[in-house]
Structure 1
Amino acid sequence: MTAYAEVIGDPIAQSKSPVIHGFWLEKLGIAADYRRAHVKADDLADYLAARHADPAWRGCNVTMPHKQAVIPLLDRLDPLAARIGAVNTIVREQGALIGYNTDAPGFLEPLQPLLAQTHYFRMARVLGTGGAARAIIAALADAGLVIVLAGRNVEKARALLDELDPGGEHHVAPLDHFADATDFAFDDREGCLDLVVNASALGMTGQPPLPFDLSHAPPGSVFYDIVTSPLETGFLKAARDSGFVTIDGLSMLIGQADHAFRRFFGAVPPRGEADAELRARLLA
């Protein structure tokens, strides 16, 4: 009996999770598998019932469009997943199906060296109010950042902030506010942390580009794009060409997989220098 975990979604062929987990299993010499499973919405309950009864199954990652739909089918939610209102990792623990959200810590992972520093002020301009934004908003709020959330619908943006961090002093803006140049004179940003995060699908292959004029970014800003195809979006390229530090979508993808892998297989994945080899495999 070979232990296995898998990723579920509809569609699922595009998922990079099998490459990531397979690489770590190979490196650690663990005799287990990580697979894809195409699961449609109407089949979610049957899928979980069948896997729950399979002793070889260690759990699954959950991708779109099931991150919220699986919640009523689980026995319990981790507090962070309950707060975010989305599950991307399901693990069987002591006979119960437990839902976790590893997107939030995965998003923060490449930012940890910055977050470990002391700042006078921390602000993040987050672009997008879709499902991916939920984990990002919660993570940034917990890390002590003031958030400016931009979306096509500012009422939706305000509702998200009020739901995910009701005590925070955050702000909203229409997405097109950032499309045109500004002559705003930023104050002295030395000792501050400024992030600009694309939490939307804009810029992804087959999607329109993300409209963002770099004049809205304070000096020293860090640009972070969760899109993985293409890896260097127009948003990141423009920022890098202008001298800003950039973080690509593979950073979050690998970071969230790390947390899931530990729960599935009870082992710490090889990171550090191994990340470069993993990235090369993902981009091959």
Structure 2
Amino acid sequence: MTYAEVIGDPIAHSKSPLIHGFWLEKLGLAGDYRATRVVSDDLGAFFAQREQDTAWRGCNVTVPHKLAVLDHVPDPGDVRGAIGAVNTVFRGEDGALVATNTDAAGFLSPIADLDLSGRPIVVVGAGGAARAVLFALSRAGVGRVSLLNRTPLKGAALLAQFGLKGEALPLTARLPAAALLVNASVLGMAGQPPLDLDLGPLADDAIVYDIVYAPLVTPLLAAAQARGLETVDGLEMLVGQAALAFELFFGAAPPREHDEELRARLLA
């Protein structure tokens, strides 16, 4: 039986097996999707073994491997140059492994109807997920981007890489005024410190978007809701990027008409 999987460390919290399993069930496809813990030192051996497994269709990649994968998997689409991080590996038509990134499109999908052109944005984080978010924002023609990170110098380098005007600030900085705040870090995830920000400077019509989905309502989203701000939770991006990966793995479009049922199952 063909199968795909999600790899990371830790990985027990991942909801990807439930999502892909739900779609396989709805479509009546024979296949499986698993969660596999892979430590950093074993990443090369993992891909060497999976490449020889003809039943393996690919994997999603999560923390902490999104950058390191590029050292082990071919990159014909120059994901390294465009985004610098990978969240999906799949087999091309010739059977060879291919690295790609579905996070950028998955991030934009729940806010695709917003006109962000010229609007100020705040992004928290400078890891693999943040790279996909910044890439997507650079294509959306946003205004100034303030990037908050433990290491502002790293944030400044990312803004320059993606051609975004703005500033890099430490996590302790006062939040700038913005129309969209995105947490693209692991802060607020179960087992991680919370992201403690004063949301006062945000516009009254601002949107707070947290890509963390465990817990679904992070302290950041709870604070935003208490202030009456619109929020987007991490399941939106997770399902959006998974839909693109599912088609690469299993050769069929996922049945998105069942999204409400899927969300209810994810929240059960």
- TM-score, normalised by the number of residues in structure 2: 0.92
Alpha-carbon displacement from aligned partner over 1:52-89 (angstroms, at most 9, x marks no partner): 12221111111222222221221224334542211111
- Quote the sequence identity (%): 53
Q: SS in structure 2 opposite 1:176? A: coil
SS at match of 1:99: strand
Q: Could you say which residue in structure 2 is the equivalent of 1:96?
A: 96
User: In structure 2, what is the equivalent of residue 151 of structure 1?
Assistant: 149
Partner of 1:110: 110
Distance 2:35 2:216 in 1: 22
1:174 aligned residue (147, 170, 180): 170
SS class of match (2:120): strand
Superposed displacement of residue 12, structure 1: 2.2
Task: Give, in whole Å, the separation in 2 of the partners of 1:54 and 1:120.
Answer: 45
Cα distance, 1:144 vs. partner? Answer: 1.0
Mapped partners of 2:191, 2:205: distance in 1: 31
- The 3-state SS of whatever aligns with 1:23 is helix
Question: After the TM superposition, which of the residue ranges 212-221 and 101-110 deviates more from structure 2?
Answer: 212-221
- Residues 36-60 of structure 1, C-alpha deviation per residue, up to 9 Å, x if partnerless? 2222333222222222122211111
Give matches, 1:191-202, under 5 Å.
194-202=179-187
Unpaired segments ≥5 residues, structure 2: none
Aligned to 1:283: 267
- Residue aligning to 1:125: 122
User: 3-state SS of the aligned residue for 2:259?
Assistant: helix
Aligned partner letter, 2:261 = E
From the superposition, tell whether residues 120 and 224 of structure 1 become closer, same or farther in structure 2 (CA, over 3 Å): closer
Q: Residue 71 of structure 2 aligns to a residue in which SS?
A: helix
CA RMSD of aligned residues (A): 2.0
Cross-structure match for 1:236: 221
Mapping 1:26-175, distance limit 5 Å: 26-80=25-79, 82-93=81-92, 94-115=94-115, 121-146=118-143, 147-163=145-161, 165-166=162-163, 168-175=164-171
CA offsets 1:84-121 (integer angstroms, 9 cap, x no match): 21111111111321101111111111011214xxx663
Deviation at 1:232, TM superposition (A): 0.8
Deviation at 1:3, TM superposition (A): 1.3
Once residues 246 and 206 of structure 2 are traced to their aligned partners in structure 1, the CA distance between those partners, rounded to angstroms, is 32
Q: Following the alignment from structure 1 to structure 2, what is the Cα–Cα distance between the partners of residues 210 and 38? A: 26
CA spacing shift, 1:197–1:120, aligned 2, 3 Å: closer
CA distance in structure 2 between the aligned counterparts of 1:80 and 1:143, rounded to whole angstroms: 18
Find the residue that maps to 1:133 and give its secondary structure: helix
Mapped to 2, the partners of 1:152 and 1:91 lie a distance apart of: 33
Give the stretch that moved more between structures: 42-51 or 139-148.
42-51
Q: 1:155 deviation in Å? A: 1.5
Letter in 1 for 2:156: R
Deviations along 1:184-234, whole A, 9 cap, x unmatched?
Answer: xx7xxxxxx810111222222233322221221012101101111211112
- The residue type paired with residue 14 of structure 1 is H
Kindly provide the amino acid, as one letter, of the partner of residue 144 in structure 1: G
Q: Which amino acid aligns with 1:151?
A: N
The more displaced of 240-249 and 44-53 is 44-53
Aligned residues: 266
User: Matches of 2:95 and 2:7 in 1, distance apart?
Assistant: 20
Over 3 Å counting, the alpha-carbon distance change for 1:206 and 1:44 in structure 2 is: closer
CA distance in 1 between counterparts of 2:64 and 2:76 reads 18
Q: Larger C-alpha radius of gyration, 1 or 2?
A: 1
Residues 73 and 120 (structure 1), Cα distance of their counterparts in 2 relative to 1, 3 Å cut: closer
1:219 corresponds to 2:211: no
Distance 1:13 1:233 in 2: 18
Give the deviation of 1:263 after TM superposition. Answer: 0.5
Check the 8 A contact 1:91/1:99 in 2, yes or no: yes
Mapped to 2, the partners of 1:126 and 1:73 lie a distance apart of 29
Could you tell me whether the CA contact under 8 Å between 1:81 and 1:101 is conserved in 2? no
